[in-house]
Amino acid sequence: MKRKLLVILGLLMFVTWAYAQQDSVTLQHGAHRIGRRTDADMQWWRDYGLGQFIHFGLYAQLGGEYNGEQYSGASEWIRSWNKLPNAVYDSLYKEFNPVNFDADRWAAMAKQMGARYVTITTRHHDGFCLWPSKYSDYTIVKSSYGKDLIGPLVKAYNKVGIDVYLYYSILDWHSKDWRYQLKTADDTVAFNRFKVFVKNQLTELLTLYPTVKGFWFDGTWDKSWASPSNAPFTDSLEQYLKQIRPGLIAGGRYRVDETGHRHDDANGSLMGDYAQGWERKIPKDYAATKGRDWDCDMTFGENGWGYQKKWLGHWKTTDELLEMMAKCNSLDGNFVLNFGPKADGSFRQEEVDAAREIGDWMKVNNAAIYDTKYNGWEKQDWGYSTISKDGKKAYLMVFNVPVSGKIKVLTDKAQQVGKAYMISAPEKSLPIHPLDYGYNEITIPSQRYSRPFVIVLDIVNGKSETRQENKAKT
């Protein structure tokens, strides 16, 4: 009997072991960390709340049009349009001359908007470099402008306290060595040269601009880059970049593991420091974020990142953008709004206006966005909430006020609400009426609201009080 039991136990252990083996793949080039980074650089990244994205390049000269025709794709993709000869596009640099580029003005606009970091395209898919790269002859120094744009930008943004990240496309339509797919031995030889070029350029960027905080990689979906055989290179490149710049923050979009998985390795762990998959979309709930660091980059239009002469289709209003920012932050992500400057280096008026309006809102309400985190509440009808890192203040970003003028707020069981007030009038407490099941009814000052607003709840930790008459034993 005892022997039988031992055999069964042994069998059970074997099945459990075999199941566990099946569940996890042994990877040399998968994620090297499970879960979030815990260092100060990453903590600072996590606290940004709001960022600015800038897509600037030769595509701005066309603004989504060629020969009087409108390109229906994203304007920065126009080089791939079969109605536009490559040679025409590749000559645009000769006229590229952003005479109205004023780094201090760009930085001032971002600062006023409340952005704490910026990501700028150093080289988009068209291959044109906005900095004087010694590894390419297709750079801004060869244009009519004739000088570096990234350096002054980094300096100006840093001067006003904004961190700079560099967008870098691995995909390069201009390079003779870049391949979408490696079909022949020659392709492999050429692509190997391309990889050296990428490494050189990334090293060069970190060397030329030592205050840069990290990279936002793009274009890594190609069969060449995403091939399992590229796993050792992408892995060692990330490690190399982090050696030359300790604390560097690299998005999770560019590595591939030896099984061909991108973003997440074959075991479902994120390769990189934050998830880069939330492009023009926002996770529907906290579970969808998998508890990771992430940011969402968002366009004003439905798609299109570079300058577009005609704003066709739907373009987001300031209130819509504020709501997206609130939602992202309530789910522990940063919100990054994209701008597409015109070829002369100025911004279109709609973008300037939106930046100013967002900034006006941020001036009053930024405590709900900066240095806050996911507060564990379920989504509620009135809007979105965040909580301060010490857990003492919950911020309710109210987008919907019911006709009753009262909102019902469901807090966590362990959170007792001490006081509620409008962020703009902290001295005036709002009436709170505790309800059963953890709800508090808060009366909103009766007035016409032209923008969403923030209510602060002072949180007193402890069990929430339930009124005696409600303690029925049901």
Least distance (Å) between residue 305 CB and ligand FHN: 4
Question: What DSSP letter does each residue of 68-87 carry, written as one string?
Answer: TEE--S-GGGGGG-TTS-HH
Least distance (Å) between residue 301 CB and ligand FHN: 12
In 3-state terms, what secondary structure has residue 260?
coil
Least distance (Å) between residue 118 CB and ligand FHN: 14
By the rule CB under 6 A, 74 interacts with ligand FHN? yes
* Count of residues of this chain found to bind ligand FHN when the rule CB under 6 A is applied: 7
What's the first-to-final CA gap in the chain, in angstroms? 49
In 3-state terms, what secondary structure has residue 254?
coil
**Residue 173 or residue 347: which is nearer to ligand FHN going by CB?**
173
**Residue 102 or residue 279: which is nearer to ligand FHN going by CB?**
279
**Residue 174 or residue 393: which is nearer to ligand FHN going by CB?**
174
**Residue 163 or residue 218: which is nearer to ligand FHN going by CB?**
218
Least distance (Å) between residue 221 CB and ligand FHN: 8
Token representation of residue 60: 């701005």
Instruction: Tell me which stretch binds ligand FHN (CB under 6 A): 2-10, 69-77, 281-289, 317-325.
Output: 69-77
**Residue 155 or residue 263: which is nearer to ligand FHN going by CB?**
263
Instruction: Tell me which stretch binds ligand FHN (CB under 6 A): 62-70, 71-79, 89-97, 107-115.
Output: 71-79
Instruction: Tell me which stretch binds ligand FHN (CB under 6 A): 73-81, 97-105, 244-252, 409-417.
Output: 73-81
Q: Which residues contact 316 (CB under 8 A, 6 or more apart)?
A: 298, 300, 301, 324
Give how far Cα 230 sits from Cα of 24, 27, 226, 423, Å.
21, 14, 7, 51
Integer Cα distance of 282 and 327 in angstroms? 8
Backbone angles phi, psi at 244, to 5 degrees: -75, -20
Q: Which of 148, 163, 172, 218 binds ligand FHN (CB under 6 A)?
A: 218
**Residue 300 or residue 361: which is nearer to ligand FHN going by CB?**
300
By the rule CB under 6 A, 441 interacts with ligand FHN? no
Integer Cα distance of 236 and 238 in angstroms? 5
- Residue the block writes with tokens 């339509």: 173
**Residue 336 or residue 409: which is nearer to ligand FHN going by CB?**
336
Least distance (Å) between residue 403 CB and ligand FHN: 40
By the rule CB under 6 A, 297 interacts with ligand FHN? yes
**Residue 51 or residue 452: which is nearer to ligand FHN going by CB?**
51
**Residue 76 or residue 257: which is nearer to ligand FHN going by CB?**
76
Least distance (Å) between residue 418 CB and ligand FHN: 42
The contact mask relative to ligand FHN for 168-207 (x = CB under 6 A, - = no) is ----------------------------------------
Q: Which residues contact 95 (CB under 8 A, 6 or more apart)?
A: 61, 143, 144
In 3-state terms, what secondary structure has residue 110?
helix
By the rule CB under 6 A, 305 interacts with ligand FHN? yes
Beta carbons of 366 and 326 less than 8 angstroms apart: no
Integer Cα distance of 211 and 11 in angstroms? 57
Q: Cα-Cα-Cα-Cα dihedral of 34, 36, 37, 43, to 10°? A: 180
Least distance (Å) between residue 122 CB and ligand FHN: 12
Q: Which residues contact 336 (CB under 8 A, 6 or more apart)?
A: 50, 51, 52, 53, 117, 119, 295, 296, 297, 298
Q: Which of 279, 319, 320, 458 binds ligand FHN (CB under 6 A)?
A: 279
Least distance (Å) between residue 253 CB and ligand FHN: 8
Backbone angles phi, psi at 106, to 5 degrees: -60, -45
Integer Cα distance of 170 and 151 in angstroms? 21
**Residue 63 or residue 383: which is nearer to ligand FHN going by CB?**
63
In single-letter form, the type of residue at position 345 comes to G
Least distance (Å) between residue 170 CB and ligand FHN: 11
Q: Which residues contact 304 (CB under 8 A, 6 or more apart)?
A: 64, 73, 74, 75, 76, 340
- Write out the E strands in 281-392: 294-298, 334-339, 372-373, 383-388
**Residue 292 or residue 393: which is nearer to ligand FHN going by CB?**
292
Least distance (Å) between residue 295 CB and ligand FHN: 10
Least distance (Å) between residue 338 CB and ligand FHN: 7
Total count of residues recorded for the chain: 474
Interacting residue ranges for ligand FHN, rule: CB under 6 A: 74, 76-77, 218, 279, 297, 305
